[in-house]
Structure 1
Amino acid sequence: MAEPAFCTILATNYLPKALALAETLKRYGNSGPLTVFLIDGTPESALPEQPGVRYMFPSMLPLTEREVLDLAMSYDLVEFATAVKPLVLQVLLADHEQAFYLDPDTYLTSPMVELVPTLVASPGGILLTPHYLEPVKPGGQFGEGHLLSVGVYNLGFCGVDRRAAEFLAWWWGHLRTECLHDAVAGLFVDQKWVDVGAVLFEAAPLRHYGCNVSIANLHERPIGRDDAGYYVASSGDRLRLFHFHAFDTSRPDELSTRMNESTSHLRAGNVAIDDLCREYATTLIEKEKVVGAPPPYRFGTDSSGRKITRRMRHAYRTSVQSGARVPSPFVAAESEQWSQWRRANAALVGRLMLSDLAKGVRCALPEEYDNLKKRLPGLASRFRRNVVENTGMWH
């Protein structure tokens, strides 16, 4: 199809945000639907109908049912949602020349007319938005050092065409097992891998100041408003896509609820931002009424209702990657086997905790670690080989 595809990926609890995004995508000229991929949904899920929305589920991916369940157990919600991104884009490219991903908490404010021509002009058929387009002045809330932990690009947006097939396969090759929020391993879900992939596969940065604006880059992209709508005051670019990180309609004065301190001053000091937040809140509240109370995450507990911890996910992931057949916590018929496996692998959980601790000590106390290696080389070597897990930068 000549019309580009647009998609977003989320758990069902975020559905009101995805429906708000779909409404703005339709409002600003996209004739095709927004593909809403629900990581915890099924074709039997009771979902609201909305013009311009097409639902997609894990059963529609080129994975077996068991592979989906393994991913859902290996990863937490955010890790799972970001891990399947290249697969969803691959599926959409089977029927479309271009495919664009948007985070569910993004919101269009004008037509994104730059996307298709900029993607076509890119050398590798990959379009990404950097967090920053200018050097950051000292003293602000966010700095360039932040990018060392989260990556250069904000993967709340990306675009690909069919030339990116090799990149998507490479990206999935990493995300299948290492789409982790693990600072000690140098990983931040899908984003840090793209820092590498952008070079290997010739990705192009979208240097439009109005695309993927968020609380993290408002210092270089202050928002204004005129008769034509919202714009970026520093560049004159029209605001295209605003990224609402952790926006909560129950806290009406905040721009984001993710920060360690209040963000209300960012709204109080800028009428345009406050107007945009009020507009978004009005739309979200309408969608929340349509969807109803958010359901619990389907893969947050096992079939008996027991909460699944990150440590247990880690142990499960390690076992599956070693080739073991592990009972699924989400299959009721395997409930007893799962309980037995969980109890039997307490030592594995402990070893993996020790691995993480050892990595942290190695990073925090490099001189002391080197001295220990010199004094006890055999012990250090055996510990590294038998205890420390090879993930991320530890390969």
Structure 2
Amino acid sequence: MIIGTAVNACGLAQALLMARSVKRQMPWAKIALCLVEKFPAHTLPDVDWIFTAREISEHLGLPDFESHMFKFNSLQCGVAMKGRMLAYLLESFPFEEHVVYLDPEMYALQPFHEIVHMLENRDVVLTPHHLEPSSPGDCSREIGTLADGTFHSGIVAVKNSPEGRHFAKWWMKIASGDFEGEPSGMFKDQPYLNFAPAYFNAGVLRHPGYNLAFWNLHENGRKVFRVDGDFVLTHQVPLCCVNFSNFLGLLESCMNQYVHDDGAFRQLWSEYQHELSLSRSENPSPPWSYSFFYSGETISNETRLRYKAALINRKPGGNPFSLSNQSEF
């Protein structure tokens, strides 16, 4: 099994915690990291292979790398490379049976036996954001999930089969940001996964121990307990993988609403924060190297949006990083 992730230098501290957690639980697994920066990465602990986003794109024969990267901001750099990373790993390691994409915020607490078992009969495995419907008279979570996507793109498992490779190339292309009317918001790659069970031999992993995150802490089946040093969920279900994304402080906000002050999840979060603090002290985060024009001017989000619109309607010539915020597209 290969576990792949895509991250810029700012997220390396979390990516290394993810890699360490995977090696603890699955020492046989290989870790591949796509660094979305202009500079190469030095050797990193628990990471078997490091590739740059440019290297992956060139290997896949994808043109206009600069145009592709210019469409995304630093928070979306993973969106720019998830599909490409999966396609690259499936192609470059043909004898590796399973490839799993994990966001850098993910943290493994058990081996991924359920994923491996499901991939015996499926070519793609997805995990839903929610496993329990909202209470009667309230469909706010369902409505919000319609925008963000039913399935979480932070954990996507693929069999190295013709169908699995077909899925990776489809996701890579449709989430590229090259089409008019694409989903809005930060997570533009996720809504397309809604189609995967219809288009491909994809399975839905309904195990509550995967993908525990701020958006499902309220669910009755995802209450966290500590038993003999291990973290388990309601009915003694093993907790396998946690998403420790605290985007806009949403994890801490949901903890305050749904987790007791002495709850086991707070213990787990505290332990993770301690590890993360140490990792960040060892891996300082420079500004994202794709945030700037070659002149050193910071690229504005408005400029990126104008450029993306121009790409959809026509093909601007030249390298966009050689221009400025005042350039017309």
Taking structure 2 as the reference length, the TM-score comes to 0.87
Assess, with a 3 A threshold, how the Cα gap between structure 1 residues 206 and 167 changes in structure 2: closer, same or farther: same
Alignment match, 2:153? 155
CA deviation profile, 1:119-165 (whole Å, cap 9, x unmatched): 1222xx01000011121225889622111110100111010112312
* Residue 31 of structure 2 corresponds to residue 34 of structure 1: yes
Do the aligned partners of 1:87 and 1:172 also contact (CA within 8 Å) in 2? Answer: yes
Assess, with a 3 A threshold, how the Cα gap between structure 1 residues 34 and 51 changes in structure 2: closer, same or farther: same
List gaps (5 residues or longer) in structure 2: none
- Superposition map of 1:1-395 within 5 A: 4-43=1-40, 45=41, 47=42, 49-63=44-58, 67-94=64-91, 95=93, 96-122=96-122, 125-137=123-135, 143-161=141-159, 162=161, 163-178=163-178, 188-220=187-219, 221-233=222-234, 235-246=235-246, 257-258=249-250, 263-292=255-284, 294-321=285-312, 322-329=314-321, 334=322, 338-339=323-324, 342-345=325-328
Assess, with a 3 A threshold, how the Cα gap between structure 1 residues 102 and 313 changes in structure 2: closer, same or farther: same
Q: Percent identity?
A: 24
Do the aligned partners of 1:180 and 1:188 also contact (CA within 8 Å) in 2? Answer: no
Letter in 1 for 2:174: H
**CA drift at 1:195:** 0.7
The 4+ residue runs of structure 1 with deviation greater than 6 A are: 139-142, 179-182
**CA drift at 1:262:** 7.1
Q: Distance in 2 between matches of 1:13 and 1:187?
A: 17
List gaps (5 residues or longer) in structure 1: 248-255, 349-395
Q: Distance in 1 between matches of 2:13 and 2:138?
A: 32
Q: Aligned residue pairs: how many? A: 319
**CA drift at 1:60:** 2.2
Instruction: Name the SS for the 1:127 alignment partner.
Output: strand
Letter in 1 for 2:100: F
Higher relative contact order structure (alpha carbons within 8 Å, sequence separation ≥ 6)? 2
**CA drift at 1:326:** 3.2
Kindly report the root-mean-square deviation, in angstroms, between the aligned alpha carbons of the 2 structures: 2.8
**CA drift at 1:268:** 4.2
**CA drift at 1:284:** 0.9
Instruction: Name the SS for the 1:204 alignment partner.
Output: strand
Instruction: Name the SS for the 1:343 alignment partner.
Output: coil
Assess, with a 3 A threshold, how the Cα gap between structure 1 residues 224 and 141 changes in structure 2: closer, same or farther: farther
Q: Distance in 2 between matches of 1:295 and 1:102?
A: 23
Q: Distance in 1 between matches of 2:243 and 2:308?
A: 31
Letter in 2 for 1:227: D
Do the aligned partners of 2:8 and 2:77 also contact (CA within 8 Å) in 1? Answer: no
Q: Distance in 1 between matches of 2:88 and 2:74?
A: 21
Task: State the structure with more CA Rg.
Answer: 1
